[in-house]
Amino acid sequence: MITSSFKTTKSDEIFAAAQKLMPGGVSSPVRAFKSVGGQPIVFDRVQGAYAWDVDGNRYIDYIGTWGPAICGHAHPEVIKAICDAAQKGTSFGAPCRLENVLAEMVIDAVPSIEMVRFVNSGTEACMSVLRLMRAFTGRDKLIKFEGCYHGHADMFLVKAGSGVATLGLPDSPGVPKSTTNNTLTAPFNNLEAVKALFDENPGEIAGVILEPVVGNAGFIVPDGGFLAGLRELTRENGALLVFDEVMTGFRIAYGGAQEKFGITPDLTTLGKIIGGGLPVGAYGGRRDIMDMVAPAGPMYQAGTLSGNPLAMTAGIKTLELLRQAGTYEQLDRLTKRLAEGMLQVAKETGHAACGGQISGMFGFFFNAGPIHNYEDAKKSDLNKFSRFHRGMLKQGIYLAPSQFEAGFTSLAHTDADVDETLAAAREVMASL
Ligand code: KE4
């Protein structure tokens, strides 16, 4: 709990200097707090459920470096495994047994994945999987959903979520029309709109890519039948179904959304958690499709640090911790308490709010709801969200600095942390 003596002197100094060195003073836009106002907090260290800033303030962290810290920050077993692996070198640029180990764990866990290729980020995974979709089908067009974010590769920066939505960017300059005129969009949860796109573009659509549970337009769950409907529509039209599980993979279930909802896509992208806090992304799926990837097949994709032993080690240890019995039940119970508690507090303090959670992923909107898609989400009270975010920050609660992001818990978060968070939320919401 931080009282009114919330000091951010050092944070402010360091961030001021950072803005002279790096665009916006950050390495990724959403960290700049642009949409919630005020200066961002400069972290000094993290451990378990907590972060400490350079002024010594402690926060309960509900971002967890945007998903990877699901076992808690700096988990001692993960850190030890990384330190031990580092003694043997950080990167080989050659085949390494550890790639086999993590590949087997991913293949065993994720229903759609028969073969996998490691890359270094979710963006790389998504841009590679799009090239593969096009290579396999010989078609150029793709369907994505408004508000979904699949990394910052050109062809996905159309009505994208996350930082693009946060900053209200009209998509991005520097992206030639020629790269996005094959990108078709539909509202999330709208099967009719997807069917219409297939009818209007017969034989031209390589596939549909989506966040099966949206985290980049705020937290939006698929309506009943939506995922099954997409599976059917893609099959009927000879197109591929791709789940971008960079955020949901190993987060909402050990086998991701595809295990949770029982829908098996043709291809899947992963990131975040499988790197255990180091840079790892991956794409994988049906063997007949993955066999097209070089050097097995003609579709080219490469990377200097892909599959490096250090990142593989962090991912292996993280998944070992996650596959232990009771993990997802613990995440679900605690996060359910948090999400339901937040909505209860909003109700008691007279604020329209809606939201929910699945396992360790949650979100809420200052909006009466229901929220089925990005258009609905955009009607939320963004100004109120900003004031809430700042108030919670001063109470030592670190929430995603955007209405168009999701929140994340970890195995390190406790009931006491949730109690402290709900008490802070009550105080802040009462003051809004
Ligand atoms: P990265 O390139 O940031 O590793 O992954 C891109 C990506 C792809 N697909 C989904 C579903 C994602 O959520 C992401 C990245 N998520 C954002 C948070 N919404 C990363 C945070 C940031 O951009 O700083």
Nearest-atom index, ligand 1, CA of 211: 11
Q: Residue 206 corresponds to which tokens in the numbers above? A: 């390589």
CA-based nearest residue to 267, from 89, 380, 427, 115: 115
Q: pLDDT > 90: what percent of the chain? A: 92
The CATH code belonging to domain 3-62+327-431 is 3.90.1150.10
Structural domain boundaries in the chain: 3-62+327-431, 76-322
**pLDDT tens for each residue of 382-417:** 999 999 999 999 999 999 999 999 999 999 999 999
Q: What is the pLDDT of residue 404?
A: 95
At 272, which amino acid appears? K
CA-based nearest residue to 256, from 270, 276, 242: 270
Catalytic residue among 149, 254, 328, 398: 149
- Identical fold, 3-62+327-431 and 76-322: no
Nearest-atom index, ligand 1, CA of 272: 4
Q: How far is the CA of 150 from the centre of ligand 1 (A)?
A: 7
Q: How far is the CA of 126 from the centre of ligand 1 (A)?
A: 10
Residue 326 near residue 372, CB atoms below 8 Å: no
Q: How far is the CA of 152 from the centre of ligand 1 (A)?
A: 8
- Tell the CATH topology of 76-322: Aspartate Aminotransferase; domain 2 (3.40.640)
**pLDDT tens for each residue of 94-134:** 999 999 999 999 999 999 999 999 999 999 999 999 999 99
The CA distance from 291 to 103, in Å, is 15
Give the full edge-to-edge strand order of the sheet including 361-365.
354-358, 361-365, 407-408
**Cα separation of the two ends of the chain:** 19
Write out the DSSP string of 224-274.
TTHHHHHHHHHHHTT-EEEEE-TTTBTTTBTTHHHHHHT---SEEEE-GGG
Active site residue 149: yes
Q: What is the pLDDT of residue 1?
A: 46
CA-based nearest residue to 53, from 11, 92, 21, 88: 11
